[in-house]
Structure 1
């Protein structure tokens, strides 16, 4: 697990063994079962999570009971309710496990300490945040401007490994269509 984290970080910055030991000391391991919640709407989020193994979804359920999936997170991806984490307000989303999952967890406080003490880690987290903002912006623009077939094709292109791991109902919710529409999109 520690080797995977080091490889993940070193895709963007170099770390000495001593620096990585400091970084690793700020993380703890969390294991969750399929369908178990990592974050529940209304709770206060104090941690950022890096997926070592498994698959999770971040979503909001509207007043009519419709599920709106914001993000999937599989191995090597980060997930949290960042609004709650940054602003210390109740979570506005739920995050639960689609598969049994293992996560490395860092508190916002420890992440801030690392960023203050190690310029490289500040750069790492800044780059990860920017990549997340870009991905979210692209996702919103695709939802607003593309038809269902284009959204489905983009998902397939960007996430081919996820297709086999996701129930069709979740994929449909992610691209903003009904299960029936998804069947038509995947079998033209």
Structure 2
């Protein structure tokens, strides 16, 4: 089982940088594997954020609750994705968001000191994390632009095109919140798209 999990991490990294067995042994020694149950909170708003998480299997939801108690869904993270409250993790401050498991989930955990040791120990990992960071920025900008320039139907179609598996894995209520529409509007969009 652990060997399979390690192979997933290695394959993920090697999409960007090639690794020798010795390099991967060094890299994998910086990660910890953790298992979480469905509905379990990995990060709780107001608490410290010890890790950056790489999803091996399962599904996570990053969200923020405003002063009125309304939940704003920032992102979903599935297999092969990284997630955390980045501001809190990187600055070692308290979380402003929560990270919850929507399914039973297995993650690799990387602390900030381990992240820095990895980047200092293997320069390839600096390049790897730079590429992942850039991809994250692109995704965030796309999402912001989508909210600024697209109507609900267009946002729905963009999400369906980019992440079709989310529709089987995430409740319609959560998808509606992610898209910034009501549950009823999402149902209308879903039926009008012929799904």
Q: Same fold (TM over 0.5)?
A: yes
Structure 1 counterpart of 2:84, from 77, 80, 103: 80
User: Residue by residue, what CA displacement relative to the aligned partner does 1:59-93 show, whole Å, maximum 9, x if unpaired?
Assistant: 01112222111010000000001000111111010
1:55 is aligned, of 54, 59, 62, to 59
Q: Distance in 1 between matches of 2:92 and 2:115?
A: 15
Shift of 1:146: 0.5
Work out which of the residue numbers 34, 44, 47 in structure 2 matches 1:30.
34
Number of aligned positions between the proteins = 188
Distance 2:180 2:134 in 1: 25
Mapped to 2, the partners of 1:161 and 1:120 lie a distance apart of: 31
Provide the residue aligned with 1:98 in structure 2.
Answer: 102
Name the TM-score, length of structure 1 as normaliser. 0.98
Could you list the runs of 4 or more consecutive aligned residues of structure 1 that deviate by over 4 angstroms after TM superposition? none
SS of structure 2 residue aligned to 1:164: helix
Which of 147, 150, 153 is the matching residue for 1:149? 153
Which position in structure 2 is the counterpart of 1:46?
Answer: 50
**Structure 1: which 5+ residue stretches go unaligned?**
none
SS for the counterpart of 2:169 is coil
1:163 aligns with 2:167: yes
> C-alpha deviations, 1:104-126, integer Å up to 9, x for none?
11111111111011110010011
Q: How far apart in 2 are the matches of 1:127 and 1:46? A: 22
SS in 2 for 1:112: helix
Aligned-residue Cα RMSD (Å) equals 0.7
SS of residue paired to 1:15 = coil
Alpha-carbon distance in structure 2 between the residues aligned to 1:62 and 1:43: 16
One of 126, 131, 145 as aligned partner of 2:135: 131
Q: Which runs of 5+ in 2 are unaligned?
A: none
TM-score of the superposed pair, with normalisation by structure 2: 0.95
Counterparts of 2:114 and 2:69 in 1: how far apart (Å)?
A: 36
Q: CA deviation at 1:148?
A: 0.2
Deviation of 1:3 (Å): 0.3
